[in-house]
Amino acid sequence: MRDPGPAFRRIPSIDELLKTPLAIEATDRFGRPALLEALRHCVEEVRGAAASGRMAVPNADAIVASAIASLQRASQPKVRPVFNLTGTVLHTNLGRAQIAEAAIEAATAAMREALALEFDLATGKRGERDNLVRDLLCELTGAEDATVVNNNAGAVLLALNTLGRGKEAVISRGELIEIGGAFRMPDIMARAGTKLVEVGTTNRTHEKDYTAALGPKTGLVLKVHTSNYRVEGFTKSVSGKALADITRAQNVPLLNDLGSGTLVDLARYGLSHEQTVREAVAEGADLVTFSGDKLLGGPQAGFIIGRRELIARLNKNPMKRALRVDKVRLAAIEATLQLYRDPDRLAERLPTIRLLARKRDDIAAQAARLLPALSAAVGLGYVATVVDCASQIGSGALPQETLPSAGIAIRAAGPRASGRALITLAAAFRGLDKPVIGRIEEQALVLDLRCLEDEAGFVRNLAGLQLRERA
Ligand SMILES: *Cc1c(COP(=O)(O)O)cnc(C)c1O
């Protein structure tokens, strides 16, 4: 019998749809309940559209295909890798540090099998999970003792709460920072149950300001790395060393929140020197806190290192239990820290250092290699050129330091040179299988290539670029 045409076709039943070869295959892939749900939804839509005369009734295969398409969309992971071509190496919104292979392997093994997490293999008795990384942290920083929590915000909260609850925490007005994402020092202090005592002024704080503020109610003095900004001009702050002398004389603990914190001298890699964690310990801070996924290049974590009796007090705080890290991250942390025992090969093995150390000429050569593929992918509506870039470290480390880099700038060409065309372009790159994230700058989409290591994968991925405005 001849098909009477789509307009007169009856809507297939769910049972009929389920019997099509396409649906049988999809049952295997997505499971029957999900497929049923998607088919019901599609049939519902077809029924509504047909009743209103808006649409002809599609055949069974077309209905099943649209159900499969919706299942595919829904099963795409939301946690997706992207190409970070923003030029910011430690981009908080793009997951900060990329983890070293050694750490990935350690984390994978930790996920797959049982492990001696809180179990002392020597005695067969219960152990402490922090013991797994304590010795390494002490070796690499010169501290007496160390503990690990979920992130550095948690580290600061735990230290403030342990040492300063019901007491005063003294801090310079120049260090009452906001880090972003609702981490504001005054708010954290309030939540930790400490009373904030500000000393000095925004631009100038002197030793005598601290001395005058210290008294019987003081729980601790806090020094905070002003990670993401610099006050310039008529400024004065008290060095960590001078502050340690003051606090020691008064028998008050000094907590130095380094923020990013680095375990190596970054000058080795052509960057400015940033105080290392070891230096902060050596100048006399009683506790030092820093992040795992900033310059250190590991997974998200917060490290607290310093004097043994203070670390013991932190570990007894019930809040510690609420902030502890899991076995997967501990495994990755241990493997990451191990890499620091061989500083000569660090740049090779630790992605964060490797990416920060990349030379401009190497990146420019890569840009020249990629230019033809990019030009072809964007088509005649756009013009791609190799440009100089200035990468940033990100996550508040050396905020004013830029790293000479190179990349590709793509501009809309001719009569299409509108802001709209640029937005379309950026969206098309974000819409790729592996989204490409650049930044819009001076009427161009700029792709800073500093963090591009998988060049072949990048080119393959470009094949999916869909630019409706292509000329
Ligand atoms: C980044 C930062 C924090 C917060 O660290 P997270 O690991 O992101 O929780 C705290 N203090 C300073 C100074 C920082 O730069």
Residue spans per domain, the chain: 5-75, 83-92+355-464, 101-349
Please list, in sequence order, all residues whose beta carbon lies within 8 angstroms of the beta carbon of residue 261, skipping any fewer than 6 positions away: 152, 277, 288, 289, 290, 291, 294, 295, 296, 303
Contact 336 CB / ligand 1 (< 6 Å):
no
pLDDT of residue 415: 66
Pocket perturbation via mutation, ligand 1, pick of 183, 228, 303 by most ligand atoms within 8 A of CB? 183
List the one residue out of 315, 307, 323 whose CA is nearest residue 220: 307
Asked if residue 439 lies in contact with residue 87, where contact means CB atoms within 8 angstroms, the answer is: yes
pLDDT of residue 176: 85
Closest CA to 303 of 311, 292, 314: 292
**Token pair of 226 as six digits:** 């002003």
Residue 470: per-residue pLDDT: 44
Amino acid identity at 274: E
Domain boundaries 101-349, corresponding CATH code: 3.40.640.10
Q: Are 384 and 374 in contact (CB under 8 A)?
A: yes
Using an 8 Å Cβ cutoff, are 194 and 259 in contact?
A: no
Task: Tell me how crowded residue 107 is: count the other CB atoms within 10 A of its CB.
Answer: 23
Q: Which atom of ligand 1 is nearest to the CA of 156?
A: 10
Give the long-range contacts of residues 67-73, CB within 8 A, separation 24 or more. 67/17, 67/23, 67/26, 67/35, 67/38, 67/39, 67/41, 67/42, 68/22, 68/26, 68/30, 68/38, 70/38, 70/41, 70/42, 71/26, 71/29, 71/30, 71/34, 71/35, 71/38
CA distance 335 to 340: 9
Atom 5 (ligand 1): residue with closest C-alpha? 152
Mean pLDDT, contiguous 10-residue spans, the chain (471 residues): 58 94 96 96 91 84 96 93 97 96 98 95 94 97 98 96 97 83 84 94 89 96 82 84 96 96 93 93 97 97 98 98 97 98 96 97 98 96 96 84 96 78 94 97 96 98 81 42
Q: Rounded distance, CA 373 to CA 460, Å? A: 10
CB of 179 closer than 6 angstroms to any ligand 1 atom: yes
418's CB contacts (< 8 A; 6+ apart) are 412
pLDDT at 414: 76
Q: Using CA positions, which residue lies closest to atom 3 of ligand 1? A: 259
- E-strand spans in 351-416? 382-392, 402-412
83-92+355-464 and 101-349 share one CATH topology?
no
Q: How many CB atoms lie within 10 A of CB 241?
A: 12
- Domain at 83-92+355-464: CATH architecture: Alpha-Beta Complex (3.90)
Q: Which residue out of 255, 257, 262, 304 has the highest number of ligand 1 atoms within 8 Å of its CB and is therefore the one to mutate?
A: 257
| 304 touches 146 (CB < 8 A) | yes
* CB of 224 sitting under 6 A from ligand 1: yes
User: Who contacts 3 (Cβ-Cβ below 8 Å, separation ≥6)?
Assistant: 9
Name the residue of 291, 294, 300, 393 whose CB sits within 8 Å of the most ligand 1 atoms, as the mutation to test its pocket: 291
Alpha-carbon distance of 61 to 298, in angstroms, equals: 49
